[in-house]
Chains A and B, each alone.
Chain A
């Protein structure tokens, strides 16, 4: 890297991280309006523990994202197994539908889903919100798991089959364990996207039921308490931990692939 390029990288990282660092700094700053001079305090963390709105919203978000992440991992893995095996037109159409789900703005998807739930007489609610969030994160799980299943060494399954394993047994004993890092990775990705998905939750959750993105949004609009800064810092820390886990899972999958290749040669 030349010196100029290095400066560009540094500059971009500064741009990316300054808004996050400001929030973190504010969470330790005595003044509630983010003004200087800086003086250290932990009182916003204390008031966070006393803020029922924020804690309740956090709990709702974690709960919703766990359900959605699990559902998306199960349904997505099933769809991926089928997609890898089929070469039918329906398979190609499914790819198109998955891409469309990612490509259409969430605003349009959210409104369209709300309209269909209204027509069915269900309206807004927890179940529509779970279903809507699941379908929005589903493509990410499918893409990750399909890529992993396509990358698997077919010789491993063939070897198991020639040693007398039934197709189903070969799948559960060979393919599934090898695909597991991708499935967990996909589930974590689904969890993170759902946890942060403001738009779908904005349209599908009942009025007054606020998850974390909705709570932050409403507080920013109506005058926020600096306890948000403390909560944001906690969430950032958690995101870093999740990102490291995701990275480790990716590293693990590369190791398996390398082993598979060396075995083949």
Chain B
């Protein structure tokens, strides 16, 4: 295929990427300034005045940002030993374990949410089992609280996180750990001084991969979160599905995007010292 006409192959792909991703997302900026039939004039700053005029929306945005962060952190804590353990397993065991980790990731999110919904329901299997201990009432449950949303998001993040930590641990040579041990590094020191710096780049990539959809999620909070579990995603989706206000939806989407980008930037700044110490050695 060494000819000049090869660029023809790229045309359909580039055309749909440009017209359905680049242009629409950029267009949201103009939409938020009132370019829509629901808006009385253009430019019109009503949507932005509404966002900055009350602390309500900023509060929901911050709540979504920390909810995503918390879910990501929970996933990291659970996934780290697992990803590490799989990277130290035999080839055959790795294949099976990775397959088992990937499978839930291929299942529909709505179906997973539904599974957790059934599991947590008052009088459901989980609460019935707990009630056997007579410590809790079978009808009480964390279902319809914000905790349920956070746990659900962490649950969804788990397969990705395990895979990412596995991928970045796989290349760590056992010899490095052995030499750290022979030089007198204890278990904790080997973890903080060897494993953490070496897996950090992969871990960061995985965190972003998990964090962004968590902050922008809305189905989890809608089904599991109850009245106080509202996320910025619910507010945005409602503008489209119930209220028909695409102008405000565009402004909220842009703020969500800005918030996500800013928190990724912050995470990058926070881990910079760790990275610097890695390269200086």
Contacts and interface: CB of A to CB of B under 8 A. Distances in A.
A5 B84 contact: yes
Interface in A99-121: 100-101, 103-109, 111-116, 118-119
A248 to B, nearest CB: 11
A83 B17 CA distance: 14
B23 interface: yes
Interface string A108-146: 110111111011000000000001101100100010000
Given A112-B24, A134-B16, A19 B112 contact: yes
B250 interface: yes
Contacts of B13: 75-76, 78-79, 82, 94, 138, 142
B8 to A, nearest CB: 9
By size class, the interface of chain B is 35 or more
A85 to B, nearest CB: 6
B218 A107 contact: yes
A35 B17 contact: no
A192 B22 contact: no
Contacts of A217: 110, 219, 223
Nearest to B97: A9
Given A35-B128, A216-B114, A198 B109 contact: yes
A16 B158 contact: yes
Name A's interface SS: helix
Nearest to A189: B106
B114 A108 contact: no
Contacts of B16: 75, 131, 134-135, 138
Contacts of A213: 108-111
A263 interface: no
A22 interface: yes
By size class, the interface of chain A is 35 or more
A235 B250 CA distance: 35
B216 A34 contact: no
Interface in B92-106: 95, 97, 99-104, 106
Given A103-B212, A221-B223, A228-B114, A236 B253 contact: no
B183 interface: no
A247 interface: yes
Given A35-B123, A81-B9, A196 B99 contact: no
B85 interface: yes
B107 A196 contact: yes
B10 A78 contact: yes
Interface string A11-32: 1110111111011011000000
A198 B114 contact: no
B119 interface: yes
B69 interface: no
A9 B14 contact: no
B216 A23 contact: no
Contacts of B236: 107-108, 111
B167 interface: no
A81 B5 CA distance: 12
Contacts of B194: none
Contacts of B115: 19-20, 22-23, 232
A12 B119 contact: no
B21 interface: yes
Given A5-B88, A196-B106, 5 more contacts: A12-B158, A12-B162, A20-B112, A23-B114, A112-B253
21 contacts: A5-B84, A12-B158, A16-B100, A18-B119, A19-B116, A19-B118, A23-B115, A75-B16, A85-B6, A103-B208, A105-B216, A105-B217, A112-B27, A112-B28, A113-B24, A114-B246, A116-B20, A118-B246, A134-B16, A135-B17, A243-B99
